[in-house]
Structure 1
Amino acid sequence: MARHIYACPLRWSDMDAFGHVNNVVFLRYLEEARIDFMFTQAAEAGAGEFAGGSVVARHEIDYRRPLVHRPEPVTVETRVTRIGGASLTVAYEIKDTAADGTETVYVQASTVVVPYDLAEGRPRRISPVEREFLSRFMDEEVVAV
């Protein structure tokens, strides 16, 4: 299964009073990775309809360890865990991978995304082209609905 990899820069303003990235900022990191995945990468693959509108219906986030500011970006790894008729679930890991392959996971999260028709002001179905693009990033053990 392919995963979307996004190198997310850390900003000094992401820090809180305790010297690590603030919990709310991690949602911004997820958003940046999701936009790169669903808008930029999807458009390059011919499935650019997501850029026309989508809304977040749900976030779940588990904080595993603190992340402190440094000049190197953190990796946001994205995959699809569910494709429904009019929604999908994207799962993420925010992590570092050392040269020896050892991973440090800071956050594990998921987001339910609903494609949205902005002109009509309502959710819309996932198109066949979008479904094909998303399926490339689908967990193998999960079956699309």
Structure 2
Amino acid sequence: MDSLGHVNNIIYFRYFETARIAYFDRIGYWEEMEKSGAGPILAETRCRFRAPLRHPARISIGARVTTIEDDRFVMQYAVAASQCLAATGDGLVVSYNYRQSAKTTLPPNIVAAIEKLQDTDNTDGDA
């Protein structure tokens, strides 16, 4: 919390990280990383603050992939409380081979898992 009683701005990036990690759990990225060495690395991230959050606030956090390229994808995030959008953001996630210390192409099974998850979420109306 900051001096004005708001949730501190850095906390929103932690919320985004929580959503990103949960998303990676759902698509099996950690298993892929263990198997091939290829995993995600965050290249950039930003946040747009829409409304202040005050502690204690019950929040919802969401993440989705909006763009996929050969070696990267863009994730969008949203943080809401009491049906009020508090923040939105995005992050550029690059595929990185941790064994070779170099950027690499996205594993095909990860691309397929992202596409399947996004199709499922869009069908449910949770874009």
Give the TM-score normalised by the residue count of structure 1.
0.72
Q: How does 1:1-145 map to 2 (within 5 A)?
A: 15-38=1-24, 40-43=25-28, 48-49=31-32, 53-70=39-56, 72=58, 74-96=59-81, 98=82, 103-135=83-115, 136-137=117-118
Q: Which amino acid aligns with 2:52?
A: P
Superposed CA deviations along residues 78-109 of structure 1, whole A, max 9, x for unmatched, are 1111000000000011013x5xxxx3100010
Amino-acid identity (%): 26
1:62 touches 1:109 (CA, 8 Å); kept in 2? yes
Gaps spanning 5+ residues in structure 2: where?
123-127
Q: CA RMSD in A?
A: 2.2
Matches of 1:31 and 1:47 in 2, distance apart?
Answer: 15
**Aligned to 1:137, what secondary structure does the other structure show?**
helix
Q: Which amino acid aligns with 1:125?
A: T
Superposed CA deviations along residues 108-137 of structure 1, whole A, max 9, x for unmatched, are 100000121111001111111111111132
Report which of the two has the higher share of helix. Answer: 2
Q: Which amino acid aligns with 1:54?
A: P
Q: 1:50 to 1:18 in 2, by over 3 A?
A: farther
Q: Which amino acid aligns with 1:35?
A: I
User: How many residue pairs end up in the alignment?
Assistant: 117
**Structure 1 residue 60: deviation in Å?**
2.2
* Greater RCO (Cα-Cα under 8 Å, separation 6 or more): 1
Superposed CA deviations along residues 44-97 of structure 1, whole A, max 9, x for unmatched, are xx883257532111112110000011163x11111111000000000011013x
**Aligned to 2:74, what secondary structure does the other structure show?**
strand
